[in-house]
Structure formats: structure tokens, C-alpha cells
Amino acid sequence: MISHHHRCIYFHVPKTGGQSIERLFLDDLGLSWEQRAPLLLGANENRKVGPPRLAHMTADEIIAFRYIPERMLGEYFCFATVRNPWSRVVSAFRYITSHARFEEFVDDRIRDGGRFAWFLRPQTDFYYRNGESVCDQVIRLENLKDGAAGLISRFDLSSQLGHVNSSGEALKVGARFKNAVKHTAETGAALEDHSDWREFFTPRTRAIVEAYYARDIDVLGYEFDD
């Protein structure tokens, strides 16, 4: 998200409460979600320039596709939201999966890449450029309410943060997960739907996620039980 009115750039890492942040700025400008295009959000209507989707562009992509000159990374306030990498993988599983088993999802989407690789890429990839963070602030999803309050104060926003659940994430379950629920109910297969995201993990899947998101874990200081 780029708001020239607010002189800020928000790097929306998928599954980190980003739509709640974006709505703060849209509401302040009197724009609806359907009118979000001026903030470089939504689908890209000009496929000759830029990626298919605009909302989750990285710092490298924003510069490469010339949406802003590189100097603006220093002139505008840059920020991002992040979350526990293991928790994020479970959230993505529930949002986009057609798999009934979490282990299959980890193997197919993280270990082997493939569809949605961009969606599951390491969080620091979104706001690192030339090996360094371009952000002035990184807000943890676990502290989203306090982080949003700081943004409201900094930019004198007239809006307020929408409802989030106890983990800080807007309540939403993807259609693919609902289809997986329906499929497993019909076939009698066991669907993994634990109340605590930690229960999804085995030592093996925990290690795969830890290896793939090694820089996130190191830079952001997360541990599995955070």
C-alpha cells in the first residue's frame, strides 16, 4: 500500500492483519474497500506493467516496476506487520488449502514450493532490499492493537482498527478450507482443525517451517511458543 497523502508505504505480508491496517487509511481518505485502487491495492488492471496482484508487493517489486522512485523509501514512513512464522503457516493452511492434512500442505507449499509460493514467502522478503530492512517500524500481529494506535496517532487518522480476534487476526476461513471440511465429512477422512495452532505440528513439520523461515525467526526474534 502506498499512500501519497499520508506519505507512507505499507508492506502487506499475507496473513498478518494487513486488511485491518489498510482499512485505517482507506477510511481516513473516505474510500471504501471497492475504491482501494488509488492506494495501489487490489488486482492489477494493467498486466503489461507490474504483477497480477498489487497488495502484497515487495520492496524490490515496487522499485523494479517503477511505482515509486527508490528515494521515496527514505522519504516516506515505511512499515510492515509480521507474525509468528509457525502460526502464519497454520493460518495460511486454513485460508487457502484444499488439503485435509497439514503435513501435506507443508510438503507441497513450503518444502517443494509451487502454487501460492509468493503468498508463503518469508516475511522479511517483503520489506528487505539489498539485504537490509527498509522499514521504519515493524508491528507484530500479536501487538496489532497497540501498533495500530501508534499509526492512528502518527498520521492523525480519523478511523479506528476493526475487530480482531484474540490472536490479532480478523476472523476468516477460506473457501478452500470449507471445501476440505465438506470433502472430509463426505469421505470420512480425518480433518485437522485444532483449537491451538501448535497442535497442527509434528517435530518434522515444525523443523521444515523453522528452516524455511530461518531469517524471519532470527531477525524478528520469534520462538515456536510465542
The mean pLDDT value of the chain amounts to 86
Tell me the three cell numbers of residue 125. Answer: 522478503
pLDDT computed for residue 55 by the predictor = 84
38-61 CB burial, b ≥16 within 10 A, e <16: ebbbeebeeeeebeeebbbbbbee
- Are 9 and 2 a contacting pair, CB within 8 Å? yes
- Residue pair 144/168 in contact (Cβ under 8 Å)? The answer is yes
Residue 190 has pLDDT above 60, yes or no: no
Calculate mean pLDDT across residues 190-219: 88
Is residue 181's pLDDT more than 70?
Answer: no
Q: Does 108 score more than 70 pLDDT?
A: yes
In this prediction, residue 52 carries a pLDDT of: 76
pLDDT, tens digit, 9 for 90 and up, residues 155-172: 999 988 875 543 444 434
Q: What is the pLDDT of residue 171?
A: 38
Cell numbers placing 64: 523494479
Report the predicted TM-score, pTM, of the whole model to 2 decimal places: 0.85
Confidence of residue 192 (pLDDT cuts 50, 70, 90): low
Q: What is the mean pLDDT of residues 63-87?
A: 97
* pLDDT attached to residue 50: 79
For 203, the enclosing helix (H) or strand (E) is: helix 203-212
**CA pair distance 144, 21, nearest whole angstrom:** 9
Q: What share of the chain is helix, strand, coil (3-state, %, to 5)?
A: 45, 10, 45
29-42 pLDDT per residue, tens: 999 999 999 999 98
What mean pLDDT comes out for the span 136-147?
A: 97
Closest Cα partner for 1 from 53, 40, 45, 44? 40
Of the candidates 110, 122, 127, the residue with the CA atom closest to the CA atom of residue 12 = 127
| 37: nearest Cα among 48, 28, 26 | 26
Tell me, what's the pLDDT at 48? 79
Judge whether 86 and 201 are in contact, CB under 8 Å: yes
pLDDT value at residue 187: 35
What are the start-end ranges of the E strands in the chain? 2-3, 8-11, 77-82, 128-129, 132-133, 137-140
Q: What is the pLDDT of residues 6-53, one digit of tens each?
A: 999 999 999 999 999 999 999 999 999 999 999 999 888 887 787 878
| DSSP category for residue 107 | I
According to DSSP, residue 33 is labeled G
Q: Which residues pair with 140 in a beta bridge?
A: 82
- The CA distances from residue 165 to 61, 92, 141, 145, 171, in Å, are 31, 16, 11, 11, 6
Cα–Cα distance for residue pair 162/46, rounded to 1 Å: 31
